[in-house]
Structures are given as C-alpha cells and as structure tokens.
Structure 1
Amino acid sequence: MSLDSYTTLGNSGLRVSPFSLGTMTFGEGWGWGSSVADSEAILARYIERGGNFIDTANVYTNGHSEKILGDYVAGRSELRDRLVIATKFFCNLHPGDPNGGGASRKAIIAQAEQSLRRLKTDYIDLYWLHNFDKYTPVEETMRALDDLVTSGKVRYIGFSDIPAWATAQAHTIAQFRGWAPLIAIQLNYSLLERTPEGELIPMAERLGMGVTPWSPLAGGALSGKYTREDAGKADADRGWMVSGYLAEKTFDIVDELRGIASELDTTPAAVALAWVQNRPGVTSTIIGARRLTQLEDNLKALDLRLTPEQVAALDALSTPTLNFPANVNAGAPNLMHAGATVNGEPTTPIDFAQ
C-alpha cells in the first residue's frame, strides 16, 4: 500500500490517503513542536509520497499550525485543489469573548472565517466540530454547518471527540432535514485506547461514517522509545500526555511490538500503526511527526501485513473493558440464536441453569 492508495471517506465521494498528516506538532508555540522549516519539510515529503489528506485545527499552536500550512500551500497554488485540507473549530482563541469558541452559529461562522484567513484559501475540504458543546442546540450547529457547505466555504463536515449518541442525533436530524450529513468521525484510538470499539466505531459503521483515529501511538508511548528497562529515564516531549500511559500494561504491549518488529524487520511504531489502520471501520489514520525521520518511520507501516497470530497477540494484551451496554450486548447473538449458525458461524448454547 502507498499514500496514493486512496479510499473514499465514509458515505461520500471524497478520496483520501490511508494515512492523514496531523499537524498538531507544526509550530513551536506549545514548547515541543516543529520549526517552520521542519514543518515544511514534513509537508513536502508527505505530498511527494502521494499523501493528500492534511489535518489541522484552529487551536493547534494557537493558530500557527494553520498559518504554516496556509503559507506553504499559498506559495504552491497548483497544490490546493489536489489536497484535502481538514481543520477543526470549537476552541476559543479569544480569552474574554464568550462567543469566541463553541458550536453556536455566531461562533462557527467566525471561526471558519478566521481559519480561512490563516489557511489562505477560500474553502475548507472537511470541517470538524472539535469537542461536544452541551450548551448549543444541535439543530443550530448543524444548520450553520449546512449553510457553510451551501455557501461553498466548506465541502464536507465531521465530528471529533463527540459522544456516539450526540453524533447519531446530529446526523439523523441532518438527514431528515436535507442538510449536509456527517461523513466521518475523529477519535482517540490505539492499542492503549480501544474503548471506541464499544459504541463510536460500531455507530460509524452503521451510519456510513469514516473513522479517522488520532494518537495511534498514544502520544509516542507506543513508539518503542519508552521501555520497561528505561522506565523513568526517558523524558517525554509532551509530558503528561505520554507519562500517564507509562505503566505495566503499556510495557507489556511495547514488548510485544518490539518482538513483532524484530520478526518483520521494522519498528515498533510501524507495527502499532499497522494494527490501527487495519481495524474494522478505520478509513484513514492520523499520523504526526516533529521530524522528517519520524514521518519516514511512520510511513513504513503502509507496507506491513501483520499475521493473524501477531494481531491476536496484540489484541489479547490490549483488550478493552467495555461498559454497559456493550458488555451485555456482546452476548446478545448467543442469547438470540443459541446453538444455531449465524452468518456461517456457530453460536454457543446458553446454559441458563448455571
């Protein structure tokens, strides 16, 4: 597989690369990002390899990430229509302004205009709601997004980090009213965060939404840099975003990743990314890099094919605890078809006397 092995995103005709380039690391305003020169080198290499799907947000490095991307593309006008540029709204970049963020009509339109200026473009390919706004009626949010699509300033819309019930509600309302539908969701998904398998991913599969995982390496915790042997010695670039993962479960998974990487002559990071990208429902995995070498390392995952035994070993070490009702529904097929064959697979008889 390569970056130009494009696939459609959800129930749409939008074609995107199997790996999306995340740009949260673009800019040094947060203390651990890439310089402008390094960011442009990463962009250039990703595009050279055939990548077309670039993900940013208004809040990333306080707007600098969008500006770096905008300056780069503006200087290469032939690129714009070849790229799928996605950005997010919600976070307030204007302290003291109660309407500076969120998902109200006023906030959405203002944030879109600000992002368009920083990106130096007249349209956004995919506009994500970044977080859940419990204070704004969902009809107001979806109608404002539909207006942006109708005006041509936005092509498609999606939700990031929103509960499954709220996403389904918004999508259903949009469908019934003939507004622009949600074509994708963005979520935190990795070998260390598999709880989206409970509701979010099944919802996306049923409703025709693409799934674009972020932090597939858990902020770097699964990169292979942090091992049991080096516990407490390696400093995490992102501090608490990584250190909170560095526990025995992580080290067990990293040990398995290292073993598989040795078998396949690759890196633990590539193995972890290959696992995510080949999960049911996943369309395009968001990869990040602060250095060009990290991007090259991550792209190795495109050529990996994990064996069923390798996948099973990783699955066993990372099995999530799914809360109600996922834990109950997991046994529903057996209760409904006890002892029968469903979709060619036998079910287990239920002994109600136990």
Structure 2
Amino acid sequence: MSLDTYRLLGRSGLRVSPLALGTATFGNEWGWGSSAEDARTLFSTYVDRGGNFIDTAAAYGGSEELLGSLVAGRRDSLVLATKYSTLRRPDDPNSGGSHRKNLFASVENSLRRLRTDYLDLLHVHVWDARTPFEEVLRGLDDLVRSGKVLYVGMSNAPAWEIARMQAVADLRGWSPLVALQVEYSLINRAAERDLIPMASALGLGVTPFSPLGGGVLSGKYSGAAEAGTSRREFNAALGMVNPRTLGIAEVVRSVALEVGCAPAQVALAWNVRRPGVVAPVVGARTPEQLVGNLGALEVALTAGQVARLDEASAIDLGYPHDVLSGDHIRTVLSGELKVESR
C-alpha cells in the first residue's frame, strides 16, 4: 500500500489517500505544534508522496490559515476537509452550534482562511442537540447545491442520530453523508459497538482521528522521559494514559520488535486495515515523525500478530451485541440447523 493507492470515500466516487494528513499540529497555539516552516515541510512531504487528503477544522487555531498558504498551485489535486460547529467567539452564542447561521458563517470563514472557493468535505464537528437535525441537513444540502461544499460528513455524534439523518437525506433527496470521523485506535475501540457498523451499512467512510491514542501507542509514554510534559498531561486528562492503555502499548511495542519497525507504524498498520476504515488521520510535529507514520503503509502484520493486538485491546461490546452474538440466541433462532452467513 502507498499514499497513491487511493480509496473511495464512503458512498461517493471521491478518491482519497489511505492516510489523511491531520493539520491540528500546524501552528503552536497549543504549546506542542509545529512551526510554519515545519508545517510547510510536512505538507510537501505528504503531497510529494502522492497524498491528497488533508484534514483541518475551524477549531484548530491557525491551522486553516497556515494550510491556506500552502495549497496555492495544488488546490484542485487536493481533497480539503474541514469542520464546523465549535464556538468561534466566546461572547457570541450564535458563533457556535450546528445551526444555519453558524454553518454559513463558519464556511465563509474557512473558505477565506483556506484561500479557496470550495471545500471538498465539510464535517459537523460536534453534535448539537439544540439544533433540529433537519435544519443541519438542509443547510448542508444548500451548501452542496451552491457549490461551496462538495461532500458532507459527521463527527462526534451518536450513531442513531447519524442513521436518522442519512435516512431523511435519502428520503428527501438531500446530499447524503459520505464520511464519519471518529476517535478510533487500539486504546479506544468503542466505535466498533455501533458507529463503525452503522457507517459501513449506510455508506459513510470512516476516517479515524487519534489513531495513535494521542501518542500513547508510539511508546513515548512508557517510561519517565515524557512525564510532566504538557502533551502527556493533556492526554492524561482525556483518560488516554492509564495502566490499561500502557499495557496495550507494550503489546504494540513487542509486535514492532518482531516486525522490525516502530510501534507507531504497527498501530497505524492495524488501523488502516480495519473493516470500514478508509483513511486514518495522522498528525506530526516534525517531518521525521510524519515520514515514520507514512511508513506504516509498508508494514505487513501476520494474522497471529493482529490477533494479539485484537486480544490486548478487546472491549466489551455490551447489550444487545453480547446477547445477540451468544449461543442462546443462535439456538433460539436456528436450533441445530446449519445456516451459512453471507
């Protein structure tokens, strides 16, 4: 696999690279990002290798603006994805949320910062329970019809809400959702309960964010070297650094030793080949980190190694999935009959 081995994004004909370049690290507003010079190198490294799928968001500080300075001359060959809904001005209640006013204002701001007249993909960044979902869908459809947005997707929302939106979009002839961005990694497989199966059934291509678990799966937090750093403290506050996740990281490290590659490459190689996954979003602060992450496309894991990773990171699917997959339900449905699944 390589960056120029393209995949279709959900129920669309849009071709995207199997790893997307995440640009949340473009800029150092958070205290751990990359400089403008390094961002330019990161961008060039990715694009020069055939990568075309670039992810940003209105909430990523100066990321959109910095990215806009880099796409000149290459815009039409790139798939630019951004997101809206997070609060843009702390004193303005209508500068946040998924409603129509914020949707149109956010898109205009993103277009200006990205120095383009259209967005390839727009995600609803965070579910807004205060806005009727029909308002969101109709607003997204209007933007697609206007040509300012080509495709639409969702992120950070309940599976049943997304399924309802897709059903209504289909019934009313509005633009369908084609992408779903969710947190998904070996340390957080919760999306396997409902979100990823829903996406596969309804035609949304999954683009996982944080596929390295905030860096935990790279092995950097296994010792004391990163103790007390702002990035580790940030991830610990999000629940990413704990005995369970460090134990999973140790299994990743052991597999990496067998393969002869970096732990981060093992974690990404596992992720990019999961059912329903189109393109994990990889970020990096330095060009060296990005080159290492892209090397995951060349890593081949054996069935035994994948099984070890699956076992170490397994989660309880919960009700009703555990009941429906049990022997009792199989017995009451089929008895002793042999019925093959498609």
What is the Cα deviation at residue 242 of structure 1?
2.2
Distance in 1 between the 2:299 and 2:226 partners? 30
Q: Could you tell me which of 214, 222, 234 is aligned with 2:227?
A: 234
Aligned to 2:307, the other structure's residue is in SS state: helix
Q: Tell me which residue corresponds to 2:70.
A: 72
CA RMSD of aligned residues (A): 1.5
- Cα displacement string for residues 58-111 of structure 1 (whole angstroms, at most 9, x for unaligned residues): 0102xx10001101113xx2x101000000000111111111011111110010
- Which 5+ residue runs of structure 2 have no aligned equivalent? none
What is the Cα deviation at residue 232 of structure 1?
7.6
Distance in 2 between the 1:113 and 1:284 partners? 26
Q: Tell me which residue corresponds to 2:58.
A: 58
Q: 4+ residue stretches of structure 1 with deviation over 6 A?
A: none
Aligned to 1:249, the other structure's residue is in SS state: helix
Q: Which moved more, 1:316-325 or 1:168-177?
A: 316-325
Q: Tell me which residue corresponds to 1:12.
A: 12
TM-score between both structures, scaled by the size of structure 1: 0.92
> Which amino acid is 2:169 matched to?
A
What is the Cα deviation at residue 184 of structure 1?
1.1
> Residues 1-354 of structure 1 correspond to what in structure 2 (within 5 A)?
1-61=1-61, 64-74=62-72, 77=73, 79-227=74-222, 230-231=223-224, 234-243=227-236, 244-331=239-326, 332-333=329-330, 335-343=332-340
CA contact (8 A) 1:199 1:326 kept: no
What is the Cα deviation at residue 289 of structure 1?
0.4
> Which amino acid is 2:288 matched to?
T
Distance in 2 between the 1:249 and 1:120 partners? 44
CA contact (8 A) 1:101 1:111 kept: no
What is the Cα deviation at residue 233 of structure 1?
5.4
CA contact (8 A) 1:201 1:281 kept: yes
Distance in 1 between the 2:214 and 2:241 partners? 11
What is the Cα deviation at residue 333 of structure 1?
4.5
Distance in 2 between the 1:68 and 1:39 partners? 8
- Cα displacement string for residues 265-301 of structure 1 (whole angstroms, at most 9, x for unaligned residues): 1000000111111111111110010110110110111
How many residue pairs were aligned? 338
CA contact (8 A) 2:226 2:232 kept: no
Percent identical residues: 50
What is the Cα deviation at residue 231 of structure 1?
4.6
TM-score between both structures, scaled by the size of structure 2: 0.95
> Which amino acid is 2:69 matched to?
D
What is the Cα deviation at residue 208 of structure 1?
1.2
